Chain A
Amino acid sequence: MAKVVGAVVVDTEECKGCGLCVVACPQQVLGQNKQVNSRGYHFSFMENPEACIGCSNCAIVCPDTCITVYRVRV
């Protein structure tokens, strides 16, 4: 079976750190950064990038549409 790997890009300035993507991720890829963006929110980032399968669940639940998803078969 072909393996699928994915990656997400979070627009750190748009992210409001609500954490909905963190709970929506089935692979526990995302986490909230200890750093804050210019508006003071703990933006999301890929804490565990190698586990990402590019399912785009995080992007679908994001209220601010700040996640872009990429996926490739290897």
Chain B
Amino acid sequence: MEVKDIIKPENLVYEKPKLLTENTMHYCPGCTHGVVHRIVAEVIEDLNIQERTIGVSPVGCSVFAYNYIDIDWQEAAHGRAPAVATGISRVNPDKVVFTYQGDGDLASIGAAEIMHACNRGEDIVVIFINNAIYGMTGGQMAPTTLLGQVTATTPCGRDAERNGYPLKITELIAQLPGTSYVTRQSAHTPASVRKCKKAIKKAFQNALDKKGTSFVEVVSTCNSGWRINPVDANVWMEENMFPYYPVGDMKDAERDSKEAHLKKN
């Protein structure tokens, strides 16, 4: 069969989600932001909540997220996205509010805001892109940078004595009673992208059902900041990031309460 016979509208199995705009993304080649943007667009499309969704974009590489997903957006000051999202969701309880933050934004500058928003159990979704580096400003050390990892500000590798230890913010947040769903995912292989989509869909469903804060960390690559090519960056992430940031659900309030109920009886 000729290729031109296969390329027909009735044979279409995958195309760009309609919520993604025609703008070319400004991200570097192979950046995980593009994949996660698409997952968010697909989930919003699947749940049919385009008119009800408000995103809060951070300061960082994804500062221009509003150029790419065709929903309402609000730009927040550095790290303050959860505080802005709290305001939006309290004034508009019928809206689905999510924040989209990087590791410098969420774990460093915005550490207080995210802790208290999660502790209050605001009905928001937090999407946290953890690539262990400050990507936008040129690859400086972030709180999540691994020990020994070379960055622009740790040229000899991160040293625990001088720079402290990598911050496992997702584990900290999982202990807060306000959160309903805390998970860590990745988006580097077809299987992990599908799992990540499932997790983000669940998070948005929790926000629709007013179950409390849902927190989805996506372990990501920053091939420009790490100074390796996109394919090798994925391998580096598997070898170095996954042992310290293991992928999986940390907390699922609904499932945990069901299990506790079963154990009791």
Interface residues of A (CB under 8 A from B): 5-7, 9, 14, 16-20, 22-24, 41, 46, 49, 54, 56-57, 59-72, 74
Q: Point out the residues of chain B lying under 8 angstroms from A62, CB to CB.
A: 34-35
| B34 A64 Cβ-Cβ under 8 A | yes
> Given the complex, which residues of A lie within 8 Å of B187, measured CB to CB?
61
Report Cα–Cα, A31/B38, bound state, in Å: 23
Residue from the set B13, B32, B193 with the largest chain A CB neighbour count within 10 Å: B13
Counting contact residues on chain B (CB < 8 A from A), the size range is 35 or more
Instruction: Tell me if A5 and B6 are in contact (CB < 8 A).
Output: yes
Question: Does B189 contact A7, Cβ atoms closer than 8 Å?
Answer: no
A54-B13, A61-B189 known; A70 vs B234 contact (CB < 8 Å): no
Asked if residues B30 and A70 are in contact (CB atoms below 8 Å), the reply is no
The docked-state distance in angstroms from the alpha carbon of A64 to that of B8 is 22
Q: Whole-angstrom distance between the alpha carbons of A7 and B4 in the complex? A: 9
Instruction: Give Cα distance in the complex from A68 to B9, angstroms.
Output: 11
Which segment of B21-29, B47-55, B115-123, B249-257 sits at the interface? B21-29
**Do B193 and A60 have beta carbons less than 8 Å apart?**
yes
Task: Encode contact with A along B231-261: 1 for CB under 8 Å, 0 otherwise.
Answer: 1001000000000000000000000000000
B157 vs chain A, min Cβ distance (A): 27
Question: Are A68 and B35 closer than 8 Å at their CB atoms?
Answer: no
Q: B6 to A7, Cβ gap below 8 A?
A: yes
Q: Which chain B residues border A65 with CB–CB below 8 Å?
A: 16-17, 20, 34, 38
Q: Is B29 touching A18 in the complex (CB atoms < 8 A)?
A: yes
Whether B231 and A23, one on each chain, are in contact in the complex, defined by CB atoms closer than 8 angstroms, is yes
Q: Could you say which residues of chain A place their CB within 8 Å of the CB of B16?
A: 65-66, 68
Q: Give complex CA distance A52, B154 in Å.
A: 45
| Measured CA separation A56–B16 after assembly (Å) | 12
Residues of chain B within 8 A of A54, CB atoms compared: 6, 13
A19: contacting residue among B3, B12, B31, B229, CB under 8 A: B229
CB <8 Å contact, A63 and B33: yes
Q: When the two chains form their complex, are residues B3 and A49 in contact, meaning their CB atoms are under 8 A apart? A: yes
